[in-house]
Amino acid sequence: MRRRSGGRRALAALVLLAACGPAVAVTRRDVPQAPPSFLVQAAAMPAYALPPTRAAPSGPAPDELAGLTSRDVPQTLNGTFDVVPGTVPGTVPAPGVGPVTTVRVETEQGLPVDAQRFAGFVMDTLDDPHGWGAGGRMSFVRTGSDDATIQVLLASPDTLDRLCSPIDTTGELSCRSGARAVLNFYRWVNGQEDYAGNTTGYRRYLVNHEVGHVLGHGHEPCPGAGMPAPVMQQQTLGLNGCTQNPWPYP
């Protein structure tokens, strides 16, 4: 069974999240039992039509595409990561000729993932024409080298809590710590309620959001009801009246 934080703890976490700056930033899914007013406003909003997903009409199932070999989430692993070997660009090339940013992808030992598929998902997300490289701003290439500019880690909940400390990530959050975008395997499996039926979209969001922090971007609010959520909105907390949007440049 997963542990659930109480309302008081969730509120405390939200306060901490609200205060998080560019040094360490986190995302959070659950709306607490007694949400603050800005979340209450979101609850009163009408339902909005979900935009179409970018998932291909055929091809691997979403979980397979994301590298999952099981939906079982190990709460605790030993904290040792394997670097996904190889130096390859995403299969979707970045538009233009933006400067290359190197990315090292790592998965914690014991996670039920196909590491190459997971790495492919990450790179395709980063090099999507709607990603951070849009318009030739930059392009991303995966490397196994120690001197990668960005690291993307997939971690069990307890390991993530440790890597993201002192932020209280409650086993359910993801974070950025230094050059590391640390993705929570619990979240990778389960997505987020407001992305129901579009877990692929949520996974794209998670990669873009945490890597966005590594690139120096801070949080942004929902700009208005019915508008696409900025990728740097804390969409794991809920869409707050905005519509799903996983992309920096949708």
101: β partners: 140
Applying CB under 5 A, the span of 22-30, 69-77, 106-114, 129-137 interacting with Zn ion comes to 22-30
Closest to Zn ion by CB, 26 or 148: 26
Applying CB under 5 A, the span of 18-26, 69-77, 109-117, 141-149 interacting with Zn ion comes to 18-26
For the bound state, the minimum distance from the C-beta of residue 213 to Zn ion, rounded and expressed in Å, comes to 6
Residue of 245, 216, 218, 240 whose CA lies nearest to 230:
245
For the bound state, the minimum distance from the C-beta of residue 223 to Zn ion, rounded and expressed in Å, comes to 17
Alpha-carbon gap, residue 197 to 56, rounded angstroms: 14
For the bound state, the minimum distance from the C-beta of residue 28 to Zn ion, rounded and expressed in Å, comes to 9
| Chain position carrying tokens 């997939």 | 154
For the bound state, the minimum distance from the C-beta of residue 234 to Zn ion, rounded and expressed in Å, comes to 6
For the bound state, the minimum distance from the C-beta of residue 17 to Zn ion, rounded and expressed in Å, comes to 8
Number of residues forming the site for Zn ion (CB under 5 A) = 1
x/- map, 97-126, Zn ion, by CB under 5 A: ------------------------------
Applying CB under 5 A, the span of 19-27, 42-50, 132-140, 186-194 interacting with Zn ion comes to 19-27
151: β partners: 104, 180
Alpha-carbon gap, residue 237 to 218, rounded angstroms: 15
DSSP string, 98-159: PPEEEEEEEEETT-SB-HHHHHHHHHHHHTSTTSTTGGGS-EEEE---TT-SEEEEEE-HHH
Query: Pairing between strand 139-142 and 100-108?
Result: parallel
Neighbour tally for 26: CB within 10 Å? 28
For the bound state, the minimum distance from the C-beta of residue 146 to Zn ion, rounded and expressed in Å, comes to 26
Closest to Zn ion by CB, 84 or 164: 164
Binding Zn ion (rule: CB under 5 A), the pick from 14, 25, 152, 155 is 25
Closest to Zn ion by CB, 25 or 150: 25
Applying CB under 5 A, the span of 21-29, 71-79, 82-90, 140-148 interacting with Zn ion comes to 21-29
Dihedral sign from CA coordinates of 184, 188, 189, 190: positive
Interacting residues toward Zn ion by CB under 5 A: 25
